[in-house]
């Protein structure tokens, strides 16, 4: 989220936003050579490499039907050879009862009824399963890998710290700095101006404004010369940083971007901005870890910044400074330890979302990310990731319950229908009773699936307090 300085000959990605000044570029990659086209090809390749999930029920049904037909034929033949008179009547009753009792209605309903109810309930809770096999695949995930910028963080810089030098009033310094930054279009400047506006500060008009590309800004406010920028612009102006130099190092180690303010040639304050963690991220990460998952982060940001975010959120594995194709390589490393789900929101996340065992797009994300994902959160609430996983596990457990009932029902009652009890008790199952038992089996399966309509995910409420309160920054000693 922090702008990058570009100089003569530096590569510029299509879609780059130019902050100040004029920018002349030469198009070296067009059409199919553009980064977007490459990303699209990676998405298509990843999607094409996915194998369709083999349906367990279909595989069993492939053998179940002919086996039942064979059992029915053997039943009729056995009664004709060994049965008492009237043998033909007994044979037909027993054969028809076997066919009716073994009618695979419950087996056929076991999976689709749970899927329909489970996906419907998921939609009510803000989760959309875009592909049929996503519901089954998600519950196998062992690692959840997040993108950082815009997913775990808010994706825009915010003012986090302000420390003044001795002899300078904090509010006065901040008002002067904000008055200058109000004239700049730089995202860092906008974060300072936005914070001043939120505090209701009355800013003064600035004159002689000048933007020093890649270094800072300068202007005059109330007759005082204000200089705001990086340490190099202070060194260029002959301004010593003093004790604030060590403060700058501490802020940088915390993953923040420090900048200095000088008034009339004297260092007055150090400010810091960072991309703040989303308020709902801590609770979302905690909920996933409570479900026994390993949480990873894959980011194109610097390793230091990414590690700071990971430490605050309790993330287990961090891979930083990677490009879109590098995210796929990092993902493959994670997949060596088990099925991996990827959560992202941007264009750069699309290849990883498609290559993952399961891709989860945040609802506020780009269209290409949503199209590449298997699961979409219809809001930007990160807790929906844990909700999706919980519902996937519940639905698959429900399907297993239905299948166990359906097959156990057939295994137990087919011998009864064939006449197993007749030699001992003289009982032969009527086709009418077999039909009633078959119908009750289907009713049980559907009723069990409908229990998912009342499924609730026990996910902790996201925190709403900021990680760092910047309205009252502590003064420097």
Choosing from 33, 55, 133, 147, the catalytic residue is 147
With 50 as the cut, is the pLDDT of residue 474 above it?
Answer: no
Render 221-232 in DSSP notation, one character per residue: ETTEEEEEE-HH
In this prediction, residue 434 carries a pLDDT of 74
With 50 as the cut, is the pLDDT of residue 53 above it?
Answer: no
In this prediction, residue 184 carries a pLDDT of 86
In this prediction, residue 163 carries a pLDDT of 93
Q: What is the mean pLDDT of residues 392-413?
A: 83
In this prediction, residue 2 carries a pLDDT of 66
Q: What are phi and psi of 324, to 5 degrees?
A: -55, -45
Distance CA 455, CA 472 (A): 44
* Number of other CB atoms surrounding residue 62 within 10 Å: 9
Chain segment 69-80, per-residue pLDDT in tens: 888 888 888 878
More confident residue, 218 or 33: 218
Q: What is the mean pLDDT of residues 307-315?
A: 90
CA distances from residue 81 to 72, 85, 86, 175 in whole angstroms, order as listed: 14, 11, 11, 104
In this prediction, residue 28 carries a pLDDT of 86
Whether the model pTM is above 0.85: no
More confident residue, 330 or 30: 330
Q: Encoding tokens for residue 154?
A: 């808010």
In this prediction, residue 45 carries a pLDDT of 53
On whether the CB atoms of residues 264 and 243 are closer than 8 A, the answer is no
User: 165-174, 251-260, 275-284, 463-472: which range is least confident on average?
Assistant: 463-472
More confident residue, 360 or 302: 360
User: 18-27, 57-66, 200-209: which range is least confident on average?
Assistant: 57-66
In this prediction, residue 268 carries a pLDDT of 94
In this prediction, residue 174 carries a pLDDT of 94
Chain segment 94-126, per-residue pLDDT in tens: 778 887 877 777 777 777 788 888 888 888 888
More confident residue, 78 or 58: 78
In this prediction, residue 375 carries a pLDDT of 87
Active site residue 381: no
Chain segment 129-143, per-residue pLDDT in tens: 876 677 888 888 999
In this prediction, residue 463 carries a pLDDT of 36
In this prediction, residue 212 carries a pLDDT of 78
With 60 as the cut, is the pLDDT of residue 47 above it?
Answer: no
With 50 as the cut, is the pLDDT of residue 306 above it?
Answer: yes
In this prediction, residue 77 carries a pLDDT of 85
Question: What's CA 80's distance to the chain center, in Å?
Answer: 63
Model confidence band, residue 288 (pLDDT cutoffs 50, 70, 90): very high
More confident residue, 30 or 477: 30
In this prediction, residue 50 carries a pLDDT of 41
Model confidence band, residue 44 (pLDDT cutoffs 50, 70, 90): low
Distance CA 194, CA 184 (A): 12
On whether the CB atoms of residues 259 and 230 are closer than 8 A, the answer is yes
On whether the CB atoms of residues 339 and 137 are closer than 8 A, the answer is yes
Which residues sit opposite 164 in a β-bridge?
269
In this prediction, residue 457 carries a pLDDT of 61
More confident residue, 429 or 274: 274
In this prediction, residue 267 carries a pLDDT of 94
pLDDT over 90 for what percent of the chain?
Answer: 23
User: 135-139, 389-393, 466-470: which range is least confident on average?
Assistant: 466-470
More confident residue, 321 or 194: 194
Which residues sit opposite 153 in a β-bridge?
277
On whether the CB atoms of residues 333 and 340 are closer than 8 A, the answer is no
């Amino acid at each position: 989220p922090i702008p990058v300085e570009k100089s003569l000959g530096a590569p510029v990605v299509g879609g780059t936003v130019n902050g100040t000044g004029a920018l002349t570029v030469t198009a070296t990659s067009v059409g199919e050579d553009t980064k977007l086209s490459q990303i699209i090809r990676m998405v298509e390749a990843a999607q094409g490499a996915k194998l369709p999930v083999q349906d367990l029920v279909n595989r069993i049904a492939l053998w179940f039907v002919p086996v039942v037909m064979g059992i029915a034929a053997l039943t009729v033949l056995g009664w004709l050879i060994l049965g008492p008179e009237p043998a033909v009547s007994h044979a037909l009753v027993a054969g028809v009862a076997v066919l009716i009792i073994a009618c695979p209605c419950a087996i056929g309903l076991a999976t689709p009824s749970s899927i329909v109810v489970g996906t419907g309930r998921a939609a009510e809770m803000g989760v959309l399963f875009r592909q049929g096999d996503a519901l089954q695949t998600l519950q196998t995930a062992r690692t959840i890998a997040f993108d950082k910028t815009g997913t775990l963080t808010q994706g825009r810089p915010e003012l986090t710290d302000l420390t003044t030098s001795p002899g300078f009033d904090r509010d006065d310094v901040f008002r002067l700095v904000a008055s200058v930054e109000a004239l700049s279009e730089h995202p860092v400047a906008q974060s300072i101006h936005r914070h001043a506006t939120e505090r209701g500060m009355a800013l003064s008009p600035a004159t002689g404004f000048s933007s020093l590309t890649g270094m800072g800004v300068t202007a005059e406010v109330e007759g005082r010369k204000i200089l705001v920028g990086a340490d190099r612009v202070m060194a260029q102006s002959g301004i010593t940083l003093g004790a604030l130099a060590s403060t700058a190092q501490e802020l940088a180690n915390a993953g923040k971007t420090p900048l200095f303010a000088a008034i009339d040639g004297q260092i007055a304050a150090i400010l810091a901005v960072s991309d703040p963690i989303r308020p709902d991220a801590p609770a979302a990460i905690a909920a996933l870890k409570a479900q026994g998952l390993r949480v990873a982060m894959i980011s194109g940001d610097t390793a230091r910044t990414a590690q700071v975010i990971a430490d605050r959120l309790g993330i287990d594995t961090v891979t930083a400074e990677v490009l879109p194709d590098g995210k796929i390589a990092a993902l493959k490393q994670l997949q060596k330890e088990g099925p991996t789900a990827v959560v992202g929101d941007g264009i750069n996340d699309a290849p990883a979302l498609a290559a993952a065992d399961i891709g989860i797009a945040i609802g506020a994300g780009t269209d290409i990310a949503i199209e590449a994902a298997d699961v979409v959160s219809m809001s930007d609430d990160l807790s929906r990731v844990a909700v999706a996983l919980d519902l996937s596990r519940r639905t698959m457990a429900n399907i297993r319950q239905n299948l166990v009932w359906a097959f156990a029902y057939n295994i137990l009652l087919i011998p009864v229908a064939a006449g197993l009890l007749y030699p001992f008790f003289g009982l032969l199952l009527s086709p009418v009773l077999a039909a009633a038992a078959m119908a009750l089996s289907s009713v049980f399966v559907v009723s069990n699936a409908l229990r998912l309509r009342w499924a609730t995910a026990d996910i902790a409420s996201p925190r709403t307090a900021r990680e760092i309160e910047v309205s009252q920054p502590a003064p420097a000693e």
